[in-house]
């Protein structure tokens, strides 16, 4: 059989939980590719990692197919997590259009938990593009598909598996050369490589999706074989600049295996800066930590809670009385021996209460911030409801026993999946919003304290410091603001959904002006953004931009962006915007706006700039904002009603009868050239600041009518929307328009 006639298979990694700039390797697909080629030597198998592919240029699926000779007979697309579901459906449809005769197959955690979602109708009412779904380990089912393809015999069943790999040591070695295309760019997209050394997990943590694979026995490569696999990856990638993640669901469940492996790795280390793995706290003794030190290994733990009742509810251990004490012992051994480690806690797990959160916080303060420092870092996660987890499978029971409430299910059918997966009231005593506030209020001081307490100074210290800093960012005011903004958005969406009145009544909309938590987080986020942009907050203008609630003036669909220093569209056309915060700072400082001033704001949109100006000029001053769009002007009137010194008018900025005689004028759109009528309308001794053909221009009108113009630099604003803009005279006033520092230059 010529190469051209040989059956061809393509395995696609679309990106998932442990990729997208984090890890490199896709060992799951490589293991399946090796198994398929061993079962059917006549088949050619290619592997595409779309995360790595992006580093080589834009992703064009037709070009990927062309690289394979223009055809594939089988295409497998991994659906590792539920976050990938919609993406995988879309990829399947596109490959179906390119390869109408190919067999399309998917598998992974989500496919294992919900195989019917790939065999029936999709959320949009269309048909699934997939022919087959693999449940559990993929090597067996994919090998049988490869053999069937070679024989020309299509399987009758659409759901294949579960078919666990009984002995990983008998599987063919992973062929890393299938990723050779990405080796030159691998370090650009990831700093950590990943590998698997074992299968299965016998534990039954309530939140975990591992149950979906129906694989409850732990099986591993023999220790020396595992070391050899790590060295094969090292030979392919040169791990000297990488950390290596052993991505097993449970590392080293058996004590004898674990210690033999660590001893072998210490004798024959790979070049990785640090080896990172996940292991249970209750399995370890001091000897294990000492071996990890010798083997350059850092352990990660699923602590999940510092509250004994929550630990029991999560089904974390059998020996509940010893679990939290054991974590303290392990942390002490690690500190004594200089071994870095990490632990994860879940905030908002079903059954959580404010009391259990505060108990966890006190425990973590002792664990991380006690005398002598720590060699550990902390990851703080919101609870996420994963399909196939025990909580999902037993949801009615959990709702009855804890009062938990899931606000959007199935969340993976919608956009905003990162938010909707977490949008759960943990208990009848604690709703989502209060839980969110406590997570940010109580855990942030611990996360900010860990960098000062971090006492590890060995290999890859920078790796752990980055992880520590990332956790601080994840619990920042900006992150908190985004979450509450999405809460507002989805409450509004569901309130308008007449299909479920009961759900809409539970999720009543909260007026922004009444949401004190959102206001506080938003203000803190604005302050952080402004400081990072180098904008001083030591004058009235800087403080006003920080303090005025910008979120009150934007459409709800961009509420999550309101704290950012960028322009935001006020309607679908994008012709009207609320300018970036720094733009208002530049505008009002150029005007030298001060308390007691009177300002006319032209093109005020929904009134944010006027609100900022009103805060600056104070009770002794006044602001008039003029907006040509009636709907935006009405919104401005509503939002500005509480500021007695600010008035919104629906009108055309070019109607100077509305503002003739103003001494300070700000313009929120690009006028192209300053209209003659505006200069005439400006009071003697007045100042006008406007964007003019991409420059921020200051116009000063002297007592005698002379006009001086100066430019402050390039800017980008929306264009003038007035019909008069095309016909109005743009010549300067008769007294002349002079460039500052020049003689007789004309505008």
Under the banding of pLDDT at 50, 70 and 90, the label for residue 18 is very low
- Three state DSSP letters for 583-643: HHHHHHHHCCCCCCCEEEEECCCCCHHHHHHHHHHCCCCEEEEEECCHHHHHHHHHHCCCC
CATH superfamily of 566-739: Vaccinia Virus protein VP39 (3.40.50.150)
CA distances from 151 to 3, 131, 146, 226 (A): 16, 18, 9, 34
From the list 570, 571, 655, the residue with the least C-alpha distance to 608 is: 570
Q: Using one digit for the tens of pLDDT, what is the confidence trace for 333-352? A: 999 999 999 999 999 999 99
Q: Using one digit for the tens of pLDDT, what is the confidence trace for 175-221? A: 999 999 999 999 999 999 999 999 999 999 999 999 888 888 999 99
Under the banding of pLDDT at 50, 70 and 90, the label for residue 742 is very low
Q: Using one digit for the tens of pLDDT, what is the confidence trace for 116-170? A: 999 999 999 999 999 999 999 999 999 999 999 999 999 999 999 999 999 999 9
Q: Using one digit for the tens of pLDDT, what is the confidence trace for 314-335? A: 998 666 679 999 999 999 999 9
Q: Using one digit for the tens of pLDDT, what is the confidence trace for 636-677? A: 999 999 999 999 999 999 999 999 999 999 999 999 999 999
Under the banding of pLDDT at 50, 70 and 90, the label for residue 19 is very low
- On whether the 191-475 domain is CATH 3.80.30.20, my answer is yes
Supply the pLDDT for residue 4: 59
745 pLDDT more than 70: no
730 pLDDT more than 70: no
Supply the pLDDT for residue 201: 94
Contact status, residue 208 vs residue 349, Cβ threshold 8 Å: no
Average pLDDT, the chain: 94
Give ∠ CA 25-31-32 in degrees, rounded to 5. 120
579 is catalytic: yes
505 pLDDT more than 70: no
Residue pointed to by tokens 């080629």? 37
Q: pTM (2 decimals)? A: 0.91
Supply the pLDDT for residue 509: 79
Among the listed residues 128, 579, 666, 722, the single catalytic one is 579
- On whether the 8-169 domain is CATH 3.40.50.280, my answer is yes
731 pLDDT more than 90: no
Q: What percent of the chain has pLDDT over 90?
A: 90
Supply the pLDDT for residue 500: 60
Give ∠ CA 545-580-522 in degrees, rounded to 5. 50
Question: What mean pLDDT comes out for the span 465-476?
Answer: 96
Write the DSSP symbol of residue 425.
E
| 566-739 shares the fold of 8-169 | yes
Supply the pLDDT for residue 183: 97
Domain definitions of the chain by residue range: 8-169, 191-475, 566-739
Question: What mean pLDDT comes out for the span 73-95?
Answer: 97
Could you tell me how many residues make up the chain?
Answer: 747
499 pLDDT more than 70: no
Supply the pLDDT for residue 747: 31
Give ∠ CA 581-585-586 in degrees, rounded to 5. 115
């Amino acid at each position: 059989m010529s190469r051209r006639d040989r059956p061809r298979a393509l395995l696609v990694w679309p990106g998932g939980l442990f990729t997208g700039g984090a890890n490199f390797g896709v060992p799951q697909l490589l293991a399946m590719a090796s198994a398929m080629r061993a079962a059917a030597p006549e088949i050619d198998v290619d592997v595409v990692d779309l995360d790595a592919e992006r580093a080589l240029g834009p992703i064009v699926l037709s070009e990927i197919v062309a690289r394979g000779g223009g055809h594939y007979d089988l295409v497998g697309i991994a659906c590792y997590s539920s976050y990938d579901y919609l993406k995988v459906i879309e990829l399947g449809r596109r490959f179906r259009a390119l390869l109408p005769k190919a067999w399309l197959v998917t598998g992974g955690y989500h496919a294992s938990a919900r195989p019917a979602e790939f065999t029936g109708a999709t959320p949009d009412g269309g048909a699934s593009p997939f022919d087959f779904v693999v449940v559990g380990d993929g090597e067996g089912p994919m090998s049988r598909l490869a053999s069937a393809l070679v024989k020309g015999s299509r399987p009758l069943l659409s759901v294949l598996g579960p078919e666990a790999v009984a002995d990983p040591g008998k599987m063919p070695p992973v062929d890393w050369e299938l990723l050779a295309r990405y080796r030159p760019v691998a370090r650009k997209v990831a700093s950590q490589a990943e590998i698997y050394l074992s299968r299965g997990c016998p534990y039954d943590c309530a939140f975990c999706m591992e149950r979906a694979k129906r694989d409850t026995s732990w099986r591993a490569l023999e220790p020396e074989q595992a070391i050899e696999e790590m060295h094969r990856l090292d030979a392919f990638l040169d791990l000297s600049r990488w950390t290596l993640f052993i991505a097993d669901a449970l590392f080293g469940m058996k004590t004898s295996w674990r210690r033999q492996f660590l001893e072998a790795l210490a004798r024959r280390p790979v070049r990785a800066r640090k080896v990172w793995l996940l292991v249970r706290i209750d399995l370890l003794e001091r000897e294990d930590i000492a071996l990890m030190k010798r083997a350059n290994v850092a352990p990660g733990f699923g602590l999940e809670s510092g509250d004994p009742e929550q630990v029991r509810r999560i089904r974390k251990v059998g020996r509940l009385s010893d679990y939290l004490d054991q974590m303290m012992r392990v942390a002490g051994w690690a500190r004594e021996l200089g071994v870095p480690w990490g632990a994860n806690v879940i905030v908002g797990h079903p059954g959580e209460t404010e009391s259990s959160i505060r108990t966890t916080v006190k425990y973590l303060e002792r664990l991380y911030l006690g005398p002598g420092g720590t060699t550990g870092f902390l990851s703080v996660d919101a609870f996420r409801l994963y399909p196939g987890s025990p909580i999902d499978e037993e949801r009615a029971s959990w709702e009855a026993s804890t009062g938990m409430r899931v606000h959007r299910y199935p969340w993976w059918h919608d956009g905003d999946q990162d938010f909707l997966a977490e949008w759960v009231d943990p208990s009848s005593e604690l709703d989502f919003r209060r839980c969110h506030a406590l997570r940010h209020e109580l855990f942030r001081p611990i996360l900010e304290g860990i960098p000062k307490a971090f006492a590890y100074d060995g290999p890859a210290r920078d790796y752990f410091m980055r992880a520590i800093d990332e956790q601080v960012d994840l619990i920042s005011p900006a992150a908190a603001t985004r979450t509450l903004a999405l809460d507002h958005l989805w409450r509004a969406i569901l309130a308008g959904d007449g299909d479920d009145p009961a759900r809409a009544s539970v999720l009543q909309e909260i007026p922004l002006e009444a949401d004190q938590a959102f206001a506080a987080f938003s203000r803190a986020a604005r302050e952080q953004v402004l400081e990072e942009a180098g904008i001083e907050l030591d004058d009235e203008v800087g403080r006003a931009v920080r303090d005025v609630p910008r979120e009150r003036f934007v459409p709800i669909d961009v509420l999550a962006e309101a704290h950012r220093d960028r322009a935001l569209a006020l309607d679908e056309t994008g012709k009207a915007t609320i300018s970036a915060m720094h733009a208002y700072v530049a505008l009002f400082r150029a005007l030298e706006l001060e308390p007691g001033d009177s300002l006319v704001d032209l093109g005020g949109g929904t009134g944010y700039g006027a609100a900022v100006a009103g805060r600056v000029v104070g009770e002794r001053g006044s602001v008039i904002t003029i907006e040509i769009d009636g709907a935006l002007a009405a919104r401005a009137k509503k939002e500005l009603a509480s500021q007695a010194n600010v008035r919104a008018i629906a009108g055309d900025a070019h109607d100077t009868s509305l503002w003739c005689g103003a001494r300070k004028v700000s313009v929120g759109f690009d006028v192209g050239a300053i209209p003659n009528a505006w200069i005439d309308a400006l009071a003697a001794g007045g100042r006008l600041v406007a964007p003019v053909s991409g420059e921020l221009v200051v116009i000063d009108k002297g007592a005698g009518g002379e006009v001086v113009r100066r430019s402050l630099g390039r800017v980008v604003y929306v264009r003038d929307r007035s019909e008069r803009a095309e016909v109005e005279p743009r010549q300067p006033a008769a007294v002349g328009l002079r460039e500052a520092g020049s003689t007789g230059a004309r505008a």
